[in-house]
Structure 1
Amino acid sequence: MPHRERLRPVDLAREHGLSTQAVRNYEDDGILPAAPRTGHGFRQYTPTHAQALRAFLALRTGHGHQLAAAIMRAANTGDHDTVLRLVDQSHVRALRDRTTLDEVTAALDDLTSGQAPAPAHGRAPTIGALAHQLGIRPATLRAWEKAGIVRPDRDPATGHRHYPPDAVRDAHLARQLRRGGHPLARIAAVTDQIRNAGGVTSLDEALRTWRTDLNRRSRAVLAAGAELAHYLDLTGTAARDAS
């Protein structure tokens, strides 16, 4: 190996503020390709290893550690189909998250703009009245209750369900999100967020934070794509040269 292409673990580590042990661990985990050793057992890295580390750290920011590691392991075995499939799957998940956020935001906007009907005469509706209001069956409301999405009150004498304003709000939100194809578990998580935030208005900041995080991750994915493409080009060239 030409001397100018020899890099030590510290050379790779210094660029990113890592420890040399972290660099060695990444190689041991298959995130970096295996490095040749000197006669004394010292690792000899190359600019290709340096680019692998850049690609992994960029991928980790956009896709998370586990997926970034899987992408790099596939890249290091030359399995570019798996690399691209993993990246595509991550894009699909990001789009699903963004669509969910948009639909939650729209549903909450509908609720706060008064499109959700108020209980008649200020009385908490029964299960039949609320089901009629929503255009669904009472059994659906019972299923949503079981999933933790709506929390009706119970008449202590009769045991009949009555839906206070918060439960009516959550039922309207659930109907809109179910129309978007969202599973009950995800809707339950959203209504829990609303209750924990103290209501729809207090959730606005959480939604803005969610959107900011999604945008940050999407930009990180764009940057990671360039680093990964460069690494794939380097390893593809090396494989062709070796053959």
Structure 2
Amino acid sequence: MGRNLQSGGRLRPVDLARAHGLSTQAVRNYEEAGILPPAGRTPHGYRTYTSVHAAALRAFLALLPGHGHRTAASIMREVNRGATDEAFRHIDESHAQLLDDRRTLHAVENALRDLEPATAREPGGTFIGPLADRLGIRPATLRKWERAGLVRPHRDPHTGYRVYDDAGVRDARLVHQLRRGGYLLEQITPLITQVHAAGGLEPLEGALTEWRRRLSDRARAMLSGAAELEAYLRERTPPPGTPL
């Protein structure tokens, strides 16, 4: 690798920084963090970089949008210490997370599509027994969902009984649909949070469209990151038979 590090001429920190709109301090920070390989030094102690460092910086910045800072930095550190299998493991885990996110989105879309229209409720809200009967579950199941933060009934001020308003019934029906689809409570929690953030099921359609777009953007970013990482690996490693 020593020969490669000298190829392409010397580059100053400002040369790497300017090409990507970064500060020279950011380039130095990336080197200190192991994201870039160690720089050479002039007799006066100034850092010098090469085409290998430029390729490393391009790879890291391309990995960021698809994998996030922590994973992208871990990938680069593993590559720079020669542990490419570990780097590939980080990439595989990122792809697995993306696939899991796609499955989650698909589950939400299916649950919303299969959700039966709401039926009339009792004036002022629905108590736990009638709601459990309507869903075909036990009241204890609704209490379990409440402890998990998935449904949030309020208490009748006179009796202390749980009362489920329209939003509470909606959440219970959605949780029930997802549980029937085989999803665990901890997997359902972020979905219910998404419903609350969107302000209900109707505005959630726009949120789902945005969610789908972000997943597609991540997938494309992962492709771009993979291409730049492969270019960096080629820059680091001389082709077989190349004299050192």
TM-score normalised by structure 2 residue count: 0.87
Equivalent pair of 2:149/2:189 in contact (CA under 8 Å): yes
2:73 alignment counterpart: 69
* Structure-2 separation of matches of 1:41 and 1:109: 65
Q: 1:182 to 1:236 in 2, by over 3 A?
A: farther
Provide the aligned length of Structure 1 versus Structure 2: 240
What's the CA shift for 1:210?
A: 1.5
Please point out which of 50, 71, 89 is paired with 2:54.
Answer: 50
What's the CA shift for 1:134?
A: 2.3
2:19 alignment counterpart: 15
* Structure-2 separation of matches of 1:172 and 1:32: 51
Q: Which runs of 5+ in 1 are unaligned?
A: none
What whole-Å deviation, never above 9, does each CA across 1:129-180 have from its counterpart, x for those lacking one? 3223323222111011122211224333333333332212111111222344
What's the CA shift for 1:86?
A: 0.2
- The share of aligned pairs that are identical, in percent, is 53
What whole-Å deviation, never above 9, does each CA across 1:37-63 have from its counterpart, x for those lacking one? 111112221111111000000001111
The one-letter code matched in structure 2 to 1:5 is: G
1:28 alignment counterpart: 32
* Structure-2 separation of matches of 1:152 and 1:14: 56
Q: 1:185 to 1:15 in 2, by over 3 A?
A: same
Find the residue that maps to 1:64 and give its secondary structure.
helix
Find the residue that maps to 1:150 and give its secondary structure.
coil
1:220 alignment counterpart: 221
Equivalent pair of 2:62/2:225 in contact (CA under 8 Å): yes
2:112 alignment counterpart: 108
* Structure-1 separation of matches of 2:100 and 2:144: 24
TM-score normalised by structure 1 residue count: 0.87
Please point out which of 76, 82, 89 is paired with 2:86.
Answer: 82
152-161 or 222-231: which moved more?
152-161
* Structure-1 separation of matches of 2:180 and 2:243: 55
1:199 alignment counterpart: 200
What's the CA shift for 1:73?
A: 0.1
Q: 1:230 to 1:168 in 2, by over 3 A?
A: same
Find the residue that maps to 1:5 and give its secondary structure.
coil
Find the residue that maps to 2:160 and give its secondary structure.
coil
65-74 or 164-173: which moved more?
164-173
Equivalent pair of 1:124/1:162 in contact (CA under 8 Å): yes
139-148 or 101-110: which moved more?
101-110
Q: 1:194 to 1:87 in 2, by over 3 A?
A: same
Find the residue that maps to 1:162 and give its secondary structure.
strand
15-24 or 156-165: which moved more?
156-165
2:144 alignment counterpart: 143
What whole-Å deviation, never above 9, does each CA across 1:55-104 have from its counterpart, x for those lacking one? 00000111111110000000001101101100000001111111111211
Equivalent pair of 1:33/1:76 in contact (CA under 8 Å): yes
Equivalent pair of 1:119/1:165 in contact (CA under 8 Å): no
* Structure-1 separation of matches of 2:239 and 2:29: 23
* Structure-1 separation of matches of 2:69 and 2:243: 31
* Structure-1 separation of matches of 2:231 and 2:50: 15
2:179 alignment counterpart: 178
